[in-house]
Structure 1
Amino acid sequence: MKKNKDLIYKQLKKITTSQHFVKSKISCDLLSYLVEASLEGRNPKEYTIGIELFGKKYEDTDKPDSNIRVYIHNVRKKLKAYYAEEGGKDPIVFVVEKGKYRVRFDSQKDHRPPKDNRFLLPFIISLSMLLVVGFLFIKQLNEEHNPWKKLPVWQSFADNDKRTLLVLGDYFVFSGNLPTGNVGIYRDFSINSEVEFEHLIDKNPELIQTLSKSHLTYLSKMAVFCQSSIYKVFAQTEGDIHVKLSSDLQPDDLKNNNIIFVGNYKNLGLFENIIRDLDFPFGISSTSEQLISADDPCAQIYEPEDSSAKETDYALVINTPGFSDNRFLFFLSSHDIGNISAVNQLTSPDYLLQLSQKHPKQLQSNDFKALYKVEGINKTDLSFELLRVD
């Protein structure tokens, strides 16, 4: 501690007049001498103390003086007794270490005995056990209420460090003159990209006077329902998810993110080549074109239907590895009802558990294609049937 000489001298006087020192002139004189020497920065030896304090004469200064050692020992002993009783609250503690002849001036707080907490040990052990049991209980409770991380499909997204992009398939539209005489937008189901629009103009150059590309796109109602269901899953798994339109997707997005795509077979955008490269043991077609091509020319082809009575849709769920330790999950359908129903079912823990029990090999591999037949009216499914898992 920083030396406060006035306080040190005050404490020295208190010690030398205490009941432990007052009757021993040698101890009082020796302590006073050591304190003065220490304040001056000196570290006296035994013969120095003998000469300067006791007026001794030594023929051999290397020979130890046993009397000095005894005096020093007595000073240490008296200091210990003093601080155990009278000096227990002194701001400074005088310390003469063994083998040394200078005084160290310590703060009282450096010499307070550690608190005896042995009586707390049973309580500490009990509290620790309660905390462990509580932690295990909460963990089990969380797993029961948050089963997503252990369920197929979503487990691979929950365990992956990459963020997830929820890509919503938006539809290509173009501008033109409306029958009302105003300018508006058109949606042609056979034109789903700028490339197809350019082909239309090339074949019909006269349309360039009335039609033009639009910066607008549109989403069907399906996007709202599906986005809400998927976001609920990620809220519970605490995954990082962001939404993006398929028309805004960039090639780097396919490499740097996990992807969940929800859209129509006709608005795949950048995913079109990925889907085309996958192997399918079945096909899906519309009245005008092949939507999903089968590898086997004799494979069964499924064709969605739309009548005044009901819609029949074939929803396809594809879970597959991406390009760089990322995951791709596709929800594809021809009508809104297909994706709404498929996403609703695959964001249900009960349904996923049943599905994984019936098809453990396919789902646990995190690389599968599930085809569903969905029938319904006005975006409300009346039946949902799993046709196959490959």
Structure 2
Amino acid sequence: MHNRENIEKIFLKVSYSSHLNSEINIKLLKYLIDGELEGKNIKEADIAFAIFGRDKNSFDSTQDSIVRAHMYSLRKQLKKYYMADGNNDEIKFIVPKGGYKVELIDNNINNESIESNKRKINILSYFSIALSVILIFISIFFYQKYISLQSKTGTTITEINSVWLDLVESDIPTTLVIGDFFVFKEFDEVSKRKRLIRDRLINSSEDLSDFVSEFPELEQRQLNTSNSYLGIEAPYVTAYITKQFSKANKDLELKLASELSWQDIQNNNIIYVGNIKSLYRIKYYFNYLHFKYSLFPHTIYFTPTPNDTTGRIDIISGGGTFHDDYAIVAKFPGNHNNTIMLITSFSSFGQVEPLKILTSYNFEEELKKTNFIEENMPKYFEILFKVEGIDKSGLSTEIVRFLKINEKSFRHNTVNDTIQTVSFIP
């Protein structure tokens, strides 16, 4: 039996957190907690009356989804809170799907990262999707022609820095994985047309299923599709990385993140470049990195140990004005003698600008000058870049933090956990 006074103290801590940014959701959570402590069987109509002022006798949940919408929002905000500020709370308030109660759970597990309560929809055209893909293949085509011309003229480029050299020289094939955004089809009842939708809160088929389960009346309107779309950074980052392999006349496979399988990860060196929202399977490796993220609001966390967060950076999107982005770059060992590297951020320029630095031949010397390394570049590392920009253009870039990854301990942490588990996932 939980002590009410203790529950009240924990609730106050939750309510003061910036992760619960809705007064209505805080009021809703308090109502659910009180109901749980008093043993009440709370129904949707009870919440509609107590929190939203609806008429209890005439409330029709099939016509008014306000309660389900806020339950959905509250659940997402709590998940975000427990990934950050509330990670070590003695008791966690968990709101299961499909019901109207809160569970008081003794804290012995870590929670997943989260999405926010806002749902912003953008309608995309098939033309923009096709154009991004075409630009990528054009980039690859011209770099292949470029290296072919060099071979004919007897010119050889050998300036590849140590970040890329082991990947270029590896006998294991390397796959460049481009982050692509999840989209779905929606039937518009007014125009009687199917539209392609990008919802920033829905970043996978699982997210779409969760959304439909919260709003079953939309089930017949929401449809999965095999389409996805690429950010404007895709052709640029592809060109920078392709150039490194073209210097040595090495092949580089290309794949979208949504198509990446665990078998691909086991059999190849992997280089992922893309938005944090487009990580798909790559996101599992953040369990073992010092840098973590939250999607809404955009936040980067620094965790010296898995349960200890000592740094937090809130990122505000510019919307056409000057703003900062932070890019997480990590290179670490896979569990099949392969290497995995990722470059990810919240904005397009947050990926392009760090790649300019990472692919420069004097990158290692610059690290020495700024005292991030003393001797040789470590094979495995984590880097946090700060990038200042406006709209979609980067203006300045600096390294905020550089960490060496210990290969032995990293393999030890992952070998009996993530890789063995996910290897059974299709």
Task: Give the TM-score category using the shorter length.
Answer: 0.5 to 0.7
Q: Which residue of 2 aligns with 1:344?
A: 356
Q: Aligned residue for 1:235?
A: 246
* Distance 1:365-1:351 versus aligned 2 partners, 3 A rule: closer
Query: In structure 1, what residue type is equivalent to 2:246?
Result: A
Q: Does 1:328 align with 2:328?
A: no
Residue correspondences, number: 245
Asked if the contact 1:163/1:239 (under 8 Å) is kept, the reply is no
Alpha-carbon offset, residue 183 of structure 1: 1.6
- SS of corresponding position for 1:306: coil
Q: Distance in 2 between matches of 1:286 and 1:273?
A: 15
Counterpart AA for 1:265: I
Letter of the 1:331 partner, please give it: I
Which residue, 164, 170, 173 being the options, matches 1:160? 170
Q: Equivalent of 1:312, from 315, 324, 349?
A: 324
Q: Which residue of the partner structure matches residue 249 of structure 1? A: 260
How far apart are the structure 1 equivalents of 2:218 and 2:240? 42
Written as runs of structure 1 = structure 2, the 5 A alignment for 1:272-287 is 272-276=283-287, 278-280=288-290, 282-287=291-296
Which residue identity does 2:346 align to in structure 1? S
CA distance in 1: counterparts of 2:376 and 2:276, whole angstroms: 23
Deviation of the 1:372 alpha carbon = 0.6
State yes or no: 1:299 paired with 2:310.
Answer: yes
Q: Identify if the C-alpha distance between structure 1 residues 345 and 268 changes in structure 2 by more than 3 Å, giving closer, same or farther.
A: same
- TM norm structure 2: 0.54
- Of the three residues 262, 266, 291, the one matched with 2:277 is 266
Deviation of 1:331 after TM superposition, in Å, equals 0.3
Residues 57-84 of structure 1: CA distance to partner in whole angstroms, max 9, x if unpaired?
Answer: xxxxxxxxxxxxxxxxxxxxxxxxxxxx
Q: Which residue of 1 aligns with 2:179?
A: 169
Q: Are 2:231 and 1:220 aligned? A: yes
Deviation at 1:289, TM superposition (A): 6.6
Distance (whole Å) between structure 1 residues aligned to residue 376 and residue 218 of structure 2: 49
What fraction of aligned residue pairs are identical, expressed as a percent? 28
- Mapped to 1, the partners of 2:234 and 2:203 lie a distance apart of 17
Runs of at least 5 residues in structure 1 that lack an aligned partner in the other structure: 1-140
Aligned to 1:198: 209
SS in structure 1 opposite 2:274?
strand
The SS at the match of 2:162 is coil
Residues 1:146 and 2:154 aligned together: no
How far apart are residue 314 of structure 1 and its match? 0.4
For residue 379 of structure 1, what is the aligned residue in structure 2? 392
Contact 1:311 1:376 in 2 (8 A): yes
Q: Secondary structure at the match of 1:154?
A: helix
Shift of 1:342: 1.1
SS in 2 for 1:221: coil
Distance 2:376 2:362 in 1: 15
Q: What secondary structure does 2:289 align onto?
A: coil
Distance 1:361 1:258, change over 3 A: farther
Once the 2 structures are TM-superposed, how far is the Cα of residue 159 of structure 1 from its aligned partner? 2.5
1:303 alignment partner AA:
D
Amino acid at match of 2:333: P
Aligned-partner Cα distance in 2 for 1:184–1:388: 43
Q: By how many angstroms is 1:240 displaced?
A: 2.5
1:366 is the counterpart of 2:376 = no
Letter in structure 1 aligned against 2:276: Y
Of structures 1 and 2, the larger Rg is shown by: 1
Match in the other structure for 1:8: none
Judge conservation of contact 1:284–1:303 (CA < 8 Å) in 2: no
Matches within 5 A, 1:108-127: none
Higher relative contact order (CA 8 A, sep 6+): 2
Structure 1 residue 376: Cα displacement: 0.8
Alignment of 1:18-167 (within 5 A): 145-148=157-160, 151-167=161-177
Counterpart residue number, 2:407: none
SS in 1 for 2:384: strand
TM-score normalised over the length of structure 1: 0.58
Shift of 1:388: 0.8
- Give the aligned partner of residue 10 of structure 2: none
Q: State how far apart, in whole Å, the 1-side matches of 2:223 and 2:211 are.
A: 11
1:83 is aligned to none
CA RMSD of aligned residues (A): 2.4
- Residue 246 of structure 1, CA deviation: 0.8
Summarize the Cα distance change of 1:290–1:196 in structure 2 as closer, same or farther, 3 Å threshold. Answer: farther
1:294-346 Cα distance to aligned partner (Å, 9 max, x none): 33544111222212422311001101111111111100100111001111221
Q: From the two aligned structures, give the one with the greater helix fraction.
A: 1
The one-letter code of the counterpart of 1:299 is T
What do residues 231-290 of structure 1 show as CA deviations (whole Å, max 9, x unaligned)? 1111002222110001111111111111000011121111111222x131x544444476
> How far off is 1:353 after superposition?
3.3
